[in-house]
């Protein structure tokens, strides 16, 4: 399987603080990879480096927009990376709150369209066609969530949505950039058990129906076990385990990172 | 995912949305009328407003009224342009008036005897594109260093650039730019053998230009570009993650706003036939912002309406003492009517204020005739009505100054106290406000105008923070 995303000995330091050290990670086509780890492990930082918010101090990020044509995207501006096909959602929701639901999604088609302002004003053919396509793409992305983001909500401002629906809208907005790789930052945070279950199904459907590779940060182990092809565990910016959910969840280093060392071991170490 | 066959359930979010939506409308039949007006598309509404504007001179506006109208339309055009950069892109640009000045000076140089032996006298169809493209380039140049500045920093840097324009025109190349004496003898607008010579023709031109600009911007607002501008306002980081080149989008907002400002500048210069550095100083900037905020930041119709309202009040009504007084007492009464509840409290305050006035006047007159020597300085029936109510002593200036300071202290106290004491203290405050108005403010239009605009904005902020036609917005802390 060819890798869509490849992190090669990726490191990031803020002054003396090493947020990420020599991180290797691959995400294959249509693969769902979960990133777990305790708070402050550097999970969101990985996303920020991949999407160009931070520039890595060392190492490389390679992304292949078409299979077999990997190119380095480290240090490119965020919008350029997004145009290549890397879309993300945010842990703290970052919607365009005062724009309508439909507009939120249509905004993400900016990179895929080319009409200049005067073309939009004069309603020239290219602008009209792109606008039609953008709307169709947005409606398609929203329809992925069935009744949850159904038609009557399209013209409401995003701030009127419930928390769960805001999370869904962020995913719809990310889909409208036509991504090859989708980075989901805690998609189930703040959701009730039923909605959490829905998120698990949703991640599987995204990979199957939309053909995107998914890298997901999640704290809810039901979601992680339900959706992941592979799990990567981080602690203090270092990869401590990788493999199937069962293998990683029973890995001693992971147990230690979450629970601390067993008292008897500590006593033995003295 | 399970799809609910009965359609979506009404959840808390839905309820909140409906409530918020309902609160946007006025109560009773006014709300119905509002809803019906909204069902009309945007362009018929704009066309109706434009036709109404074109019909105005037919009512026989005098020279002064026509000049007020022209000034108001110029400011409205500027406010609509400012809305691009402030309302949509969310960049607090305080140097905007420099682009207005650039347009005016650019037109002045291209249409006068200022440059060369015989001067340059370009037709408008040639000078307008030159000036607008120049302004767009200037907008890019100003935007380039400013694009990484956020919030307060952007505001202060652009304010500096705006002031730099005034200094530039004042001091650089006096033989060409005229220094403080400005450029005079500017040609009227001429194109295709037509010359615009009368104020009426400029009024018509401005109405048409304003309507066309508003239509263009409305088409832009809901296009790819407009959405990108607003997305950058809402959340630059998310916008960048959604394929939007944030810096380039900010620059395009600067350039578009600069072009609208320059367009307004050319018409302003041609109509005045002269330009001076002081025409493009901070007071104009404040008026543009006041109009934009009053009308509703982010709304095209709001920006235009707000600017027209501010300018008609500021330039028209507040120039003549009689109309200024009507506005003062009218707004004061309206505020009391709207804000004082229940009606018993309102009646008590009004009754007590009237009684206090007549009593105070009678006592003052009994003690010394010089205490009421000067009548109220409002003219007409209003002045007659107030003659035995408000005290205006022999030396109104000094009394007014003292009264003003006391009024400010009283107003501050009024805000601090609560409940019954506030109601009681309101009575002398209103009376003192009338006293200060009659002794001092009504004859000082230059000061009064500023105070009134400030007061109107404060009332607006309390009553309808989103502005006349603006949409309520939520601010999200990031």
Q: What are the structure tokens assigned to B50, written together?
A: 């434009």
Predicted pLDDT at B305: 92
Residue B388 sits at the chain A interface (C-beta within 8 Å): no
Burial code (b: 16+ CB inside 10 Å, e: under 16) for B100-111 equals bbbbbbbbbbbb
> CA B386: distance to chain centroid?
31
Residues recorded for chain B: 478
Subunit contact A160:B220, Cβ cutoff 8 A: no
As a whole number of angstroms, the distance between CA A1 and CA B68 comes to: 73
Contacts of A148 in chain B (CB under 8 A): 1, 8
Subunit contact B230:A162, Cβ cutoff 8 A: no
Predicted pLDDT at B19: 61
B395-420, pLDDT tens digit by residue? 888 888 899 899 999 989 988 988 88
Burial code (b: 16+ CB inside 10 Å, e: under 16) for B135-148 equals bbebbeebbeebbe
Q: What are the structure tokens assigned to B369, written together?
A: 């005739």
Residue B462 sits at the chain A interface (C-beta within 8 Å): no
Percent of chain A's residues with pLDDT above 90:
42
Residue B194 sits at the chain A interface (C-beta within 8 Å): no
Q: At what angle do helices A125-143 and B224-234 cross, to 10 degrees?
A: 50
Average pLDDT, chain B: 85
- How much is the average pLDDT of B315-329? 80
In this structure, are residues B209 and B77 in contact, taking their beta carbons and an 8 Å threshold?
yes
Does B342 sit behind a cis peptide bond, omega within 30 degrees of 0 on the bond before it?
yes
How many angstroms separate the CA of residue B223 from the nearest CA in chain A?
6
How many angstroms separate the CA of residue B112 from the nearest CA in chain A?
31
- How much is the average pLDDT of B176-204? 85
Residue B227 sits at the chain A interface (C-beta within 8 Å): yes
Minimal Cα distance from B216: which residue of A?
A121
Subunit contact A82:B243, Cβ cutoff 8 A: yes
Check pLDDT > 90 for residue B24. no
Subunit contact A117:B16, Cβ cutoff 8 A: no
Minimal Cα distance from A50: which residue of B?
B241
A148-195, pLDDT tens digit by residue? 787 778 888 888 888 888 999 999 999 999 999 999 999 998 888 988
**What is the number of CB-based contacts under 8 A between chain A and chain B?**
143
Q: How far is CA B8 from CA A139, A169, B355, in A?
A: 17, 16, 61
CA dihedral B112, B138, B94, B307 (to 10 degrees): 50
Residue B258 sits at the chain A interface (C-beta within 8 Å): no
B210-220, pLDDT tens digit by residue? 999 999 999 99
Percent of chain A's residues with pLDDT above 70:
99
Q: Which of A52, A107, A177 sits opposite B227 (nearest CB)?
A: A107
Predicted pLDDT at B10: 45
Of A37-51, A256-270, B232-246, B251-265, the poorest mean pLDDT is in: A256-270
Average pLDDT, chain A: 88
Subunit contact A198:B234, Cβ cutoff 8 A: no
pLDDT class for B15, splitting at 50, 70, 90?
Answer: low
Check pLDDT > 90 for residue B112. no
Minimal Cα distance from B218: which residue of A?
A121
As a whole number of angstroms, the distance between CA A118 and CA A130 comes to: 14
Predicted pLDDT at B303: 93
Predicted pLDDT at B2: 41
As a whole number of angstroms, the distance between CA A77 and CA A66 comes to: 20
Percent of chain B's residues with pLDDT above 70:
93
CA-wise closest residue to B288 among B369, A142, B297: B297
Q: How far is CA B128 from CA A117, B52, B267, in A?
A: 19, 27, 9
As a whole number of angstroms, the distance between CA B282 and CA B94 comes to: 9
Check pLDDT > 50 for residue B442. yes
Specify which residues A216 forms β-bridges with: A34, A184
Q: Which of B13, B242, B473 sits opposite A173 (nearest CB)?
A: B242
| pLDDT: which is higher, B272 or B149 | B272
Q: What residues contact A268, with CB distance under 8 A and at least 6 apart?
A: none
Residue A184 sits at the chain B interface (C-beta within 8 Å): no
Q: Which of A52, A94, A121 sits opposite B235 (nearest CB)?
A: A94
Subunit contact A147:B13, Cβ cutoff 8 A: no
Check pLDDT > 90 for residue B154. no
In this structure, are residues A190 and A224 in contact, taking their beta carbons and an 8 Å threshold?
no
pLDDT class for B352, splitting at 50, 70, 90?
Answer: very high
Q: What residues contact B77, with CB distance under 8 A and at least 6 apart?
A: B206, B209, B210, B213, B260, B263, B264, B267
Q: What residues contact A91, with CB distance under 8 A and at least 6 apart?
A: A44, A185, A186, A189, A217
**Neighbour count for residue B200 (Cβ, 10 Å):** 17
B358-375, pLDDT tens digit by residue? 999 889 888 888 777 777
pLDDT class for B290, splitting at 50, 70, 90?
Answer: very high
Q: Of A142-146, A238-242, B131-135, which has the strongest mean pLDDT?
A: B131-135
Contacts of A196 in chain B (CB under 8 A): none
Check pLDDT > 60 for residue A133. yes
Q: How far is CA A264 from CA A254, A256, A261, A269, B4, in A?
A: 18, 13, 8, 9, 53
- The helix/strand/coil state of B282 is helix
State the complex-level ipTM: 0.91
Predicted pLDDT at B8: 41
Residue A120 sits at the chain B interface (C-beta within 8 Å): yes
CA-wise closest residue to B426 among B410, B449, B450, B444: B410
Subunit contact B238:A87, Cβ cutoff 8 A: no
Q: What are the structure tokens assigned to B427, written together?
A: 């009575």
């Amino acid at each position: 399987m060819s890798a869509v995303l490849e992190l090669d000995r990726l490191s990031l330091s803020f002054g003396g603080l090493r947020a990420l050290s020599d991180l290797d990670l691959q995400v294959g086509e249509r693969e769902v990879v979960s990133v777990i780890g305790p708070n402050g492990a550097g999970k969101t930082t990985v996303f920020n480096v991949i999407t160009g918010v931070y520039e890595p101090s060392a190492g490389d990020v390679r992304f292949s927009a078409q299979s077999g044509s990997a190119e380095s995207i480290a240090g490119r501006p965020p919008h350029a990376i997004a145009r290549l096909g890397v879309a993300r959602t945010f842990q703290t929701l970052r919607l365009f709150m005062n724009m309508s639901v439909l507009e939120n999604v249509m905004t993400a088609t900016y990179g895929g369209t080319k009409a200049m302002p005067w073309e939009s004003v004069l309603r020239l053919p290219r602008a009209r066609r792109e606008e039609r396509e953008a709307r169709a793409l947005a409606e398609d992305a929203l329809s992925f969530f069935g009744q949850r983001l159904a038609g009557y909500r399209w013209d409401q401002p995003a701030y009127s949505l419930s928390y769960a629906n805001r999370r869904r809208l962020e995913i719809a907005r990310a889909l409208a950039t036509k991504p090859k790789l989708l980075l989901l930052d805690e998609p189930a945070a703040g959701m009730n058990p039923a909605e959490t279950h829905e998120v698990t199904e949703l991640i599987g459907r995204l990979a199957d129906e939309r053909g995107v590779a998914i890298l997901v940060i999640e704290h809810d182990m039901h979601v992680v076990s339900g959706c992941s092809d592979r799990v990567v565990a981080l602690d203090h910016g270092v990869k401590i385990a990788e493999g199937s959910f069962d293998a990683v969840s029973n890995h001693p280093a992971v147990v230690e990172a979450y629970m601390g060392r067993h008292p008897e071991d500590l006593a033995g170490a003295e | 995912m399970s799809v609910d066959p009965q359609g979506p359930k009404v959840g808390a979010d839905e309820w909140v949305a409906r409530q918020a939506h309902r609160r946007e409308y006025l109560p009773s039949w006014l709300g119905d009328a509002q809803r019906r007006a909204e069902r009309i598309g945007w362009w018929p509404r704009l066309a109706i407003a434009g036709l109404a504007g074109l019909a105005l001179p037919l009512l026989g506006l005098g020279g002064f009224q026509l000049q007020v109208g022209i000034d108001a339309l110029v400011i409205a055009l500027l406010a609509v342009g400012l809305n691009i950069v402030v309302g949509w892109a969310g960049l607090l640009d305080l140097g905007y008036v420099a682009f207005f000045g650039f347009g005016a000076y650019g037109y002045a140089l291209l249409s006068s005897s200022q440059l060369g032996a015989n001067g340059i006298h370009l037709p408008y169809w040639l000078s307008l594109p030159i000036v607008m493209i120049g302004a767009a380039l200037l907008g890019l140049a100003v935007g380039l260093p400013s694009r990484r500045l956020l919030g307060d920093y952007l505001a202060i840097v652009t304010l500096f650039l705006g002031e730099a324009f005034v200094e530039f025109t004042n001091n650089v190349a006096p033989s060409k730019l005229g220094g403080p004496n400005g450029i005079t003898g500017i040609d009227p607008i001429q194109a295709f053998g037509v010359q615009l010579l009368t104020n009426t023709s400029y009024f018509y031109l401005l109405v048409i230009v304003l309507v066309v600009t508003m239509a263009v911007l409305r088409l832009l607002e809901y296009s790819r570009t407009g959405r990108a501008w607003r997305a950058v306002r809402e959340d630059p980081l998310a916008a960048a993650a959604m394929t939007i080149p944030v810096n380039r989008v900010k620059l395009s907002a600067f350039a578009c706003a600069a072009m609208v400002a320059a367009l307004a500048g050319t018409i302003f210069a041609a109509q005045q036939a002269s330009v001076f550095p002081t025409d493009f100083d901070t007071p104009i900037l404040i008026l543009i912002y006041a109009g934009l905020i009053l009308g509703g930041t982010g709304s095209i119709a709001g920006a235009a309406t707000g600017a027209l309202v501010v300018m008609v009040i500021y330039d028209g009504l507040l120039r003549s003492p009689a109309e200024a007084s009507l506005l003062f007492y009218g707004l004061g009464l309206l505020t009391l009517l709207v804000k004082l509840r229940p009606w018993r409290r309102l009646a008590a305050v009004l009754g007590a204020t009237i009684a206090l006035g007549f009593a105070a006047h009678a006592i003052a007159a009994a003690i010394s005739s010089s205490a009421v020597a000067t009548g109220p300085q409002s003219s007409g029936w209003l002045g007659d009505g107030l003659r035995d109510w408000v005290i205006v002593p022999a030396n109104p200036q000094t009394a007014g100054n003292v009264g003003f300071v006391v009024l400010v202290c009283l107003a501050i106290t009024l805000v601090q106290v609560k409940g019954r004491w506030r109601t009681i203290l309101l009575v002398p405050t209103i009376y003192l406000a009338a006293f200060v108005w009659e002794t001092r403010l009504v004859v000082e239009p230059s000061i009064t105008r500023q105070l009134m605009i400030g007061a109107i904005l404060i009332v607006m902020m309390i009553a309808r923070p989103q502005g006349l036609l603006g949409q309520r917005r939520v601010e999200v802390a990031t």
